[in-house]
Structures are given as structure tokens and as C-alpha cells.
Structure 1
Amino acid sequence: MSAKIPRDKVQDNTESMATTRRDFVEQQTGVRVEHVAHYSLQPESTRGNIEHFTGVAQVPMGLAGPLLVNGEHAQGDFYVPLATTEGTLVASYNRGMRLLRDAGGVTVSVVDDAMQRAPVFVFDDARQARAFGTWVEQNLDAIREVAEATTSSGKLLRIEQYAAACLRYLRFNFSTGDAAGQNMVGRATFAACEWIMKNYPGIRRYMLSGSMDTDKKHSLLNTLHSRGKRVIAEAVIPDRLLREQMGVSAELLFRSRQISNTGSFMAGAVNNGSHSANGITALFIATGQDVANVAESSAAVVYATLTPEGDYYFSITLPSLIVATHGGGTGLATQRECLQLMGCEGKGKVNKLAEIIGATVLCGELSLGSAVIAGDWVTSHEQYGRNR
């Protein structure tokens, strides 16, 4: 029988337990894990973030910038920490930031904000399910009161309803303050569902998630209705700057964008852009976000056109950017420092972080798109991205 990993049921996130587990894994595998044993954070600070704390996985981090953001919450120049192991990524985003700074910056807007949990209720037939849907609409205020009693910052905005067979899916939409909020809305929705079960007869059973919240997986529903922050970043880049700095014209970029749109459509892609996941993931790791949320957060809608003056209007819409500046991994030592670098630590800063991420993504899209057309894509990876 395999040996169990050592664990202290009372105080498991301590240096002594981490050492015990490193000694254990060395005995079991014959591998000495000396590098994961070097860290500056206090093991006790990881409680609630990790089980069986054993050490750290160190990811290189680079700075890109200055990034000029013309947001409603983020305004001015920012130096952006990007944690990645992909060579050329930081250089590419840095190049896009330089171009867009010279073009006057990136305008960013957070246009929607909601986090969901979507329970499903099971009935004997479709008519019973329909009648239940009407009752939910009539009792929305009571449901809201029960749900919001579980949280100090979450607010129930609305409940969407979807019918199929004898099932009624309810998609609860909450605002969640500075937290990403999945756990918050799960707890609030559970309380609401339990109240519903006590007050509405005829329900066979319910599941807290019927998968229409599409947690940590992308969906068309999220693209249309938003999940997390819906962020739009946009800029107008003069044709002259594109030619000088990127070696491409605005007209050529626009024509290439149409070709890429066609390819994305044929592939059935959830993103008609180039690589929004790259910048989002690198920023998520650096700032202590739940990295699995990249599955939803990297979905994007890119739109471009030529202005009457022949310049390039370029935008990206991130319909489901899930970020936090409070709670989760944002309080860990290095992640907190990265948030502080951008003035995004703590409460009241989540929209600022969302705007910085949106602007960063736009810079990366423009840089890579230009590199592909100008023929710099392969050569830049040869220069920066090969770990010889």
C-alpha cells in the first residue's frame, strides 16, 4: 500500500510540515526538491490557498511598459508584471505598449459585471417547471433577501431562466465587489435554493449547478451575457506609426484582420483574436488570480476598421474577465507586490485591474498581428524564445 502524504490536521501550513513533506517525497521518489524549498513567504500565509503546502513553483517574471491607459479607473502610465516561461511574450507586449503609448494610449471601459451560479430544478413535467418559473419571478425580492444575507458585498442583480423538458435552469447573477466571487455566489445561491425548496411544493430535486453557469469553461452564453467583467479596450493608431514601428500599413492590417475573421469562423473558435490568453495568464499568475479562469477570461471579440483618415481603429472585447484584488491568492507575498506595482492592491481596485488587463491584451494583439504580417513572428522567437 502506498504511503500517505504527511498531514497535520490542526496546523498543516507550517515550515515544519513543509519540511516533513519534502523529506517524505524524497524518500518516496529519490528526488531532492531543493529549489521548491526556497521562498520568502510565510507558510502560514498560504492557508486557504493550498493544501499539503510543500514549497513553491517559481515562474520567471518580466516587466512591460510603460502602458498608457485612458480608463475610468486606471489612468496614466503603468508597468505591468508578466509571469511566464514563454520567451518573446514580454518583448511582444512591450512593443505593443510602446506603439499604443505613442498613439495616445488605450481607452478601456468596464461595461458589465456579474458572477453566476446556475442551479437546475427538476419537476414531473414541463408545465410544472413553467409554473415554477412564474413563481420565481413573483418572489424575486424574497429570494434576493435570503441570498444577500449570506454575504456583505454580494448583490443579486437578476435571475435568468432557461427551460428544457421538465427542467428549469435559474442563472443567478450577482455583483461581487472586489472578489472574483465564485465561492461567494455559490454560498448565496445555495441559501436561496434551500429557501425555495421549503417554500415551493412539487420540486423533485435540484442541483446547485446545472452547468449553465459554465464555471471555468467558455460558453456562448458568457460571450453574450458576460461573466465577471465585460471589458472593452480600444485605440486609434495612426497609419504613420504603424509603418514606422511595425513595418505594416493600416490598410494591410485591416485586410489581414478580415482574413483572420474568416479563419476563426471556419474553425469555430471562441476568439477571433490572436492570443489574449497569453497576457491574461501571465498577469493572472503574477497577481494571484485563479489561473483556471483563463478558460473563460481569454474569450474575446476583436473588431477593427479604417477611419476616414486612413488610420486603424482596433478594439478587443473581453466578455468574461474574472479578476479580484481582494481574497484568494491576491494576498500572497509576491502577488500582493505585483498588485502594488500597479496600484491595484485591496478593496476598490478591481475595475482598475480589469482595465489594465484589457489594455495589456490589446497591446499584445496588435504586436503579434503586426509581426505575423511583417514576417517578424518566427525570427523574434528564434532570437528571444529558444532556451538553448
Structure 2
Amino acid sequence: MSRAPAIPRSKTDDYTSDQARERREFLRVQTGAELSSAGSFSVDPQQLRGNIENFIGTLQMPLGVAGPLKINGEAAQGDFYLPLATTEGTLVASYSRGMRVISESGGCTTAVARHAMQRAPVFMLDSVLTAKRFGQWLEQNMTSIKAAAEATTRSGQLIDVEQYLVANMVYTRFNYTTGDAAGQNMTGKATFAACEWIKANCPFAPNYILSGGIDTDKKHSAMNMIRTRGKRVIAEVTIKNEVAKRLLGVDTQTLFRARQIANAGSIQAGSAYNGPHSANGIAALFIATGQDEANVAESHAGIAYTQLLDNGDYYWSVTLPAVICGTFGGGTGLPGQRQSLEMLGCYGAGKSDKFAEIVAAVVLAGDISLGSAVLAGDWVSSHEQYGRNR
């Protein structure tokens, strides 16, 4: 049986425009698809090492701007214009409306409450008693384990190691701070070094698998909702009743009643997020700024919480316990993505908390706009106006 031909690759330098052109021609012959649009790009292929393999070109993604959004955060402070990459009509307009409501209410307050990026190895022992003693040995040797892990990284620090015993196995979560990088690769390398040290020095001779599954990398989990993965971020705003009626077309009492109903529906459905739609804004902002888009799977989970205040104003908050983002490394250094981060003042060292606070503020703005549009009857009509290609 004949095999399909292999994709062309260069052993000397695979990141050139000529190599990309050769692969596009190969695909034209094999599939009949013309890839002329993908072949029109401004990025230097040499910049893509570590970002992609078998490079053939780029896809142009529509990039819009929303805002201004006033944020009074610990790290993010000022009026921001948000780059949002999307193909969904009405998204940018809707988020802009929510941002106006926040800004006219004096801005939102934001804070990063906790940092924790994990790798979660599982250690296999010969019995439950040995597994329990192994757990005690881990606690007694944390100083050496921490040193072995941190020797592999300049910015990562091992905070602690959680333990969960199941049968004759010890499931662990190595929790790190990772500076301005998202940190999945960093923590993987550091934890591998720590596990090798453990295997070489522990008298109980444990075998291990580097990931036992409870880090739930790029998957939502209840554990990450409680324990935090990446950054636990909160954004809050108090909306005046007058602002809600004028800009959203609904009063705060109606908003609060609808939130109670939506909460009951979210519980019934087992939703990862009980607000209107966190993933939309996170995905659009992540794509625009060079984040790993698969991290939306974890980052979108969270808790929307509201209060109808005695004076008729409306407290609205979002808590996102697993925002995974970075302002250094990965795709953040690519030219267009870097420029989007620079628009936010978020490129480079010391900026990841600022960016995470902006993410939470964007989610809050989207929730305010969509949640109100459903009540005011604007949801369908807005999509009819902005969201259809005629």
C-alpha cells in the first residue's frame, strides 16, 4: 500500500519564505487548494522558531478596538483601548458598550488575589503505608526539592507541593509562581528535575509519571476553581441605576432579578461560568496578544456575583480563578501581538498581573452588555444589524 508523500522540510533552515512557498505548492498539488492569501505575510519566518512547525503562512484575523475602559486596579490603572481579534459581528460593539457603562460608573476595581501554576506528577509506591510515609518524606525534604526545581529556571519559584493519596499512589500538585510567563513549560521542566532528584534520593524507590492528570492542563476542573491555576483575578464595579437605565435600557432591579434566574439555570446546567459569556472576550483578547488560545478552556471558568444595594445601585463582579496568561515568551513577541500588548502597556517584564486584571475587566464589560441586551430586547436585533454577512 503506497504512502502519501511527506510534507517538505529543510534540514538546514526550515524557517524561510522559500520553504513556506515550497510547502504551499506541495499542498496545491496534493489538495488543489490555493493558499495565496496565507502566503501574503509581513512576519519574518525566522521569528517563528518555537511558535510553529511546517510554516506555510499566516491567516489574517479581523482586529477591532473597544473602549475606552477605565480600570482602577492594583496593577492596571487608567483608560485602556482593547485590541480584540474576532470574526463575530457585534462582539466589539457590545464590549465597547459595557466598557462605557463601567467608565461612566467611575471605573472598575481589579486585583490579582493568588498566583499558582502547576505540574502534577503522580508517584507510585508498593503499598498505602509506604505511600503515606513517602508523603511525609516529601514534606521533610522540601528545601532540597525546591532547590532542584528552581535550579532550572530564572523566574520560577516553587511555593508548595499538595498531596492527594489514592490507593498506593501519591498524586501531587507542584505549585509555582512563574514571573511574567504563563509558565506551563517552565513548570514542566522544573518539576521533572525535582522528580528526578526525588527518585534518586528517596529511600522508598518511587516510580513516577510527570503528569498524573490533576493539573488539568488546558481543561476546566473544579480543583482549579478552588485551588487556582495561573492567576486568580477579580474585577468589580458599582453601576448607578441612572447609568443602567440610560445606557443599557434596563434598571438595576430588573438586572438583579435576571441574575438570580440565570444563576439557577447555571446550577442546573453545571456551567463552568455562571455569568453571560466570559470566553468571548478572553478568546478575542488572547488571540490579539499572542496568548496560548487553548488556555481559554481554563481561563473562562469563574463566578459572577452581584448585589442590589440599598440606594438602588448595582454591585457587579467577576472572579476568574484560572487566568493563564503571559506578557513574555510564547507568541507575545511576534510583531502584531507585541504591538497589541504595547497598546495596553503590557509587553515585557513586570506586566503580567496588569494584563490579567485587564482580562477580568474585559469579561466584566462583556457580561454587563450581553446580560442587559437580553433583557432589553437588543440581543437579536444587534446581531441582525452587526452580525450577519449579507
TM-score, normalization: structure 2?
0.98
C-alpha distance in structure 2 between counterparts of 1:269 and 1:244, whole Å = 31
Q: Tell me the secondary structure at the aligned position of residue 243 of structure 2.
A: helix
Listed as ranges, the matches of 1:176-215 within 5 Å are 176-215=178-217
Q: Quick one: which amino acid aligns to residue 33 of structure 2?
A: V
Q: Please, which of 19, 25, 29 is the counterpart of residue 27 of structure 1?
A: 29
Shift of 1:63: 0.2
> Does structure 1 conserve the Cα–Cα contact (< 8 Å) formed by 2:164 and 2:171?
yes
Q: Tell me the secondary structure at the aligned position of residue 32 of structure 1.
A: coil
In the alignment, structure 1 residue 116 sits paired with structure 2 residue 118: yes
Q: Tell me the secondary structure at the aligned position of residue 114 of structure 1.
A: strand
Shift of 1:11: 1.1
Structure-2 residue corresponding to 1:281: 283
Shift of 1:202: 3.0
C-alpha distance in structure 1 between counterparts of 2:340 and 2:350, whole Å = 16
Shift of 1:10: 2.7
C-alpha distance in structure 2 between counterparts of 1:142 and 1:308, whole Å = 55
Q: Tell me the secondary structure at the aligned position of residue 280 of structure 1.
A: helix
C-alpha distance in structure 2 between counterparts of 1:104 and 1:18, whole Å = 50
Q: Tell me the secondary structure at the aligned position of residue 329 of structure 1.
A: coil
Listed as ranges, the matches of 1:104-143 within 5 Å are 104-143=106-145
Structure-2 residue corresponding to 1:380: 382
C-alpha distance in structure 1 between counterparts of 2:61 and 2:373, whole Å = 26
Structure-2 residue corresponding to 1:326: 328
Shift of 1:376: 0.7
C-alpha distance in structure 2 between counterparts of 1:193 and 1:121, whole Å = 9
Structure-2 residue corresponding to 1:260: 262
> Does structure 1 conserve the Cα–Cα contact (< 8 Å) formed by 2:327 and 2:346?
yes
Q: Tell me the secondary structure at the aligned position of residue 330 of structure 1.
A: coil
Consecutive unaligned residues in structure 2, runs of 5 or more? none
- What per-residue deviation string (whole Å, max 9, x for no partner) do you get for residues 65-86 of structure 1? 0010111111111100000001
In the alignment, structure 1 residue 314 sits paired with structure 2 residue 316: yes
Listed as ranges, the matches of 1:1-388 within 5 Å are 1-388=3-390
- What per-residue deviation string (whole Å, max 9, x for no partner) do you get for residues 117-157 of structure 1? 00000112111111100000011111000000000000000
C-alpha distance in structure 2 between counterparts of 1:180 and 1:28, whole Å = 38
C-alpha distance in structure 2 between counterparts of 1:89 and 1:383, whole Å = 12
Shift of 1:204: 4.6
- What per-residue deviation string (whole Å, max 9, x for no partner) do you get for residues 227-281 of structure 1? 0011000000001110111111111101110101100001111111111000000
> Does structure 1 conserve the Cα–Cα contact (< 8 Å) formed by 2:236 and 2:315?
yes
Q: Tell me the secondary structure at the aligned position of residue 11 of structure 2.
A: coil
C-alpha distance in structure 2 between counterparts of 1:283 and 1:10, whole Å = 36
> Does structure 1 conserve the Cα–Cα contact (< 8 Å) formed by 2:303 and 2:318?
yes
Q: Quick one: which amino acid aligns to residue 32 of structure 2?
A: G
C-alpha distance in structure 1 between counterparts of 2:41 and 2:67, whole Å = 27
Count of matched residue pairs: 388
Shift of 1:352: 0.9
- What per-residue deviation string (whole Å, max 9, x for no partner) do you get for residues 9-30 of structure 1? 2311111100110111111111
Q: Tell me the secondary structure at the aligned position of residue 104 of structure 1.
A: coil
Moved more, 172-181 or 124-133: 124-133
> Does structure 2 conserve the Cα–Cα contact (< 8 Å) formed by 1:82 and 1:283?
yes
Q: Tell me the secondary structure at the aligned position of residue 274 of structure 1.
A: coil
Q: Tell me the secondary structure at the aligned position of residue 331 of structure 2.
A: helix
C-alpha distance in structure 1 between counterparts of 2:336 and 2:372, whole Å = 33
> Does structure 2 conserve the Cα–Cα contact (< 8 Å) formed by 1:62 and 1:82?
yes
**C-alpha RMSD of the superposition:** 0.7
> Does structure 2 conserve the Cα–Cα contact (< 8 Å) formed by 1:118 and 1:171?
yes
C-alpha distance in structure 2 between counterparts of 1:173 and 1:288, whole Å = 24
> Does structure 1 conserve the Cα–Cα contact (< 8 Å) formed by 2:224 and 2:321?
yes
C-alpha distance in structure 2 between counterparts of 1:87 and 1:203, whole Å = 58
